[in-house]
Structure 1
Amino acid sequence: MGFTTRVKSEASEKKPFNFALFWDKYGTFFILAIIVAIFGSLSPEYFLTTNNITQIFVQSSVTVLIGMGEFFAILVAGIDLSVGAILALSGMVTAKLMLAGVDPFLAAMIGGVLVGGALGRSTAAWSTGRGYTRSSSPLAPTRFSVGSRW
């Protein structure tokens, strides 16, 4: 006489719908869809146009790039709060160079990339000791980046 056992697979079990879990996972997308629907219906001739959507992406590109850099700083367990100050100083140097008559492309290269990169590198070097590794840090990156603003 053989014994047979019934094994319920997890796939065959129906789990009840959990609205809180669903809202936690997809709620932001629903809110975004509602906002787009409201503004799209209030001004359809301006809001959902190719030009407007392109401008939204162009204007948010700097914020996205800074956010990606900050993401990697958080990923390695260090939070650098100086990115906004470095961005402001790089923009100011770029604007000063453009007002002085320097070609805008060169001003962006000198002011934006070189000054911003040098300040970012020096901030990393000062906050971690040597600037190459987080493990030998004599000072927490958050404390240093707040202290270096003054």
Structure 2
Amino acid sequence: MIALRKNLNIAQFQSLIALFVLCLGLALTTDNFLTADNFWNVMRQISVNVCISVGMTLVVLTAGIDLSVGSILAFCGAVTAGLLRSGISIPSANLFIGFTVLGAVLAGMLLGGGLGFVNGYAVTRFKVPPFVATLAMLTMARGFTMLWTKGHPITGLGESFGFLGTGWFLGIPMPVWISGFVVLVAVVLTGKTKFGRYIYAIGGNENAARLSGIPISKVKIWVYSLAGLLAAVGGVLVTARLDSAQPNAGMSYELDAIAAVVIGGTSLSGGRGTILGTVLGAVIIGVLNNGLILLDVSPFWQQVIKGIVILLAVVIDKSNQKSE
């Protein structure tokens, strides 16, 4: 019993230990890692993945997966930029609708939630496996992005919008404030509400949850909708930071999100994991990406290394499940 408790305690802190070892190694091998500028640069980059990963965590907790978040990020970012830059013009009705920064951002978030709703509806109503449903949305959203942008970046979005991605408030970058708010809401949602308990119950044992009267389909639709909405928030942050909506934005972002979720201790089988664990996983991925760049590692090898890290995290997760 004592040995089992020791193993469980080590498992609880393995992500922190990994982060400490990673930071120590980079501090010893690079001169620029332990600098204020690099710290805030990492935090800004992590902020986008945190928003996406929080939504991914909710999906994975229900034993699902969402491969479409990167494409939804790109499409919603492009739509936000297009509405802000050009509005909506209907020549036949002699009508023009302009958008403020708030209006364009809300429209992009609404679109993201709507695309997530489509994912959830396909999974629940038509019983399409989450992998297939979200893979289809990945392809569609990427195509819609190309159609909307015509393959060209949308630039010149203004200082007010750019403040969301590059501004500072009380000495902290705005993306960090925004991602921090997302995390706070998600922690309360999963830990203090009936909806959060439903999410864990569905992932733990869906049949038992159904017999307990939990509305499985409704909860899953909400979960996928929230994942789409948070991907849109990430799209707004990326677009604001670059002052440009790139047609190829968000490529492979879903892989970083899944990596953060798994490294943070959320089980791919559902029912086990925390939002704060995912945040820690996102920090590890962000530090790893930053360190590989500082070490001038080839982008091709970066992909290989991240793949190995994801595989190791899954192996460790399975080992922990067997030891419980």
TM-score by length of 1: 0.66
Higher RCO (CA 8 Å, separation ≥ 6 residues): 2
Identity of aligned residues (%): 30
Q: Are the structure 2 counterparts of residues 114 and 146 from structure 1 closer, same or farther at C-alpha, using a change threshold of 3 Å?
A: same
The aligned residue for residue 130 of structure 2 is 141
Q: How far off its partner does 1:106 sit?
A: 1.8
Q: How far off its partner does 1:115 sit?
A: 0.7
The aligned residue for residue 126 of structure 1 is 122
Pick from 103, 106, 127 the counterpart of residue 106 of structure 1.
103
Name the one with the larger strand percent: 2
Query: Which amino acid in 2 is paired with 1:116?
Result: G
- Map Cα deviations across residues 86-141 of structure 1 (whole Å, 9 max, x no partner): 11110110111121163222211112x11111111121112211xxxxxxx62211
Query: Which amino acid in 2 is paired with 1:127?
Result: V
Query: Which amino acid in 1 is paired with 2:106?
Result: M
The aligned residue for residue 55 of structure 2 is 69
Q: Are the structure 2 counterparts of residues 10 and 81 from structure 1 closer, same or farther at C-alpha, using a change threshold of 3 Å?
A: closer
- For the residues of structure 2 that align with 1:10 and 1:64, how far apart are their CA atoms? 36
Q: How far off its partner does 1:143 sit?
A: 1.2
- For the residues of structure 2 that align with 1:114 and 1:77, how far apart are their CA atoms? 25
The aligned residue for residue 53 of structure 1 is 39
Conserved? CA contact 1:128–1:141, under 8 Å = no
Conserved? CA contact 1:80–1:141, under 8 Å = yes
Larger Rg: 1
Q: Are the structure 2 counterparts of residues 99 and 72 from structure 1 closer, same or farther at C-alpha, using a change threshold of 3 Å?
A: same
Q: Are the structure 2 counterparts of residues 144 and 29 from structure 1 closer, same or farther at C-alpha, using a change threshold of 3 Å?
A: same
Q: Are the structure 2 counterparts of residues 138 and 54 from structure 1 closer, same or farther at C-alpha, using a change threshold of 3 Å?
A: same
- For the residues of structure 2 that align with 1:37 and 1:107, how far apart are their CA atoms? 45
- For the residues of structure 1 that align with 2:2 and 2:48, how far apart are their CA atoms? 45
Conserved? CA contact 1:79–1:141, under 8 Å = yes
Q: How far off its partner does 1:57 sit?
A: 1.5
Query: Which amino acid in 2 is paired with 1:89?
Result: F
TM-score by length of 2: 0.33
Conserved? CA contact 2:68–2:134, under 8 Å = yes
Q: Does 1:85 align with 2:71?
A: yes
Query: Which amino acid in 1 is paired with 2:20?
Result: F
- For the residues of structure 2 that align with 1:59 and 1:27, how far apart are their CA atoms? 20
For structure 2, list consecutive stretches of 5 or more residues without a partner in the other structure.
Answer: 4-9, 88-98, 141-324
- For the residues of structure 2 that align with 1:120 and 1:82, how far apart are their CA atoms? 9
The aligned residue for residue 34 of structure 1 is 25
